[in-house]
Structure 1
Amino acid sequence: MRLSSLIIVAATFVGAAAVSLVAANFSVKLIEETSEIGVRQALDDAKMPWAEVAADGLQVTLLGIAPNEARRFSALSTAGTVVDAARVIDAMEVEAVAAIAPPRFSAEILRNDAGVSIIGLMPTATDRDAIIERFAAMSDDASVTDLIETADYPTPDGWTDALGFALTAMEQLPRSKVSVEAGRVSITAITQSAEAKAQLEARLNRAAPPGLRLSLDIAAPRPVITPFTLRFLIDDSGVRFDACSADTEASRTQILQAAFKAGLTGSGRCTVGMGVPSPRWSEAVEKSISALAEVGGGSVTFSDADVTLIGREGAGQATFDKVMGELENDLPDVFALYAKLPETVDPNVGPPEFIATLSPEGQVQLRGRLSDENLRTVADSYAKARFGSDRVYVGTRVVEGLPNDWATRVLTGLEALSSLSNGAVTVSPTSISVRGNTGNKDANAKIATLLSSKLGEAEDFTIDVTYQEKLDPVANIPTPDQCEAQIGDVLQTGQISFEPGSATIDAASLSTMDDIAEILKVCGDMRLEVQGHTDSQGRAEMNLALSQSRAQSVLNELRARRVLTSSFSAKGYGETRPIKDNDTEEGREANRRIEFRLIRPNPTEPEPESTLDSVAETGNTGPATEGTSDEQN
Structure 2
Amino acid sequence: MRPASLKRCALAACLFLATGATVAQTTTATPVVVAGAVPDEATKAAVLSKLRALYGDERVVDRIEVDAVVAPANWHQHVTAMIGPDLQQVSDGKLEIDGNRVHLSGQVADASQGLQVTRSLKAALNPTYAVTSELRSGGGKQNLLDRTLADRIVEFQSGSATLTPAGQAILDEMAAALKQVGNARVQLIGHTDSVGARQANIDLSMARATTVKTYLESQGVAGMHLGVIGRGPDEPVADNATPEGRARNRRIEFRVL
TM-score by length of 2: 0.50
TM-score by length of 1: 0.21
Of structures 1 and 2, the one scoring higher in RCO (CA 8 A, sep 6+) is: 2
Q: Bigger radius of gyration, 1 or 2?
A: 1
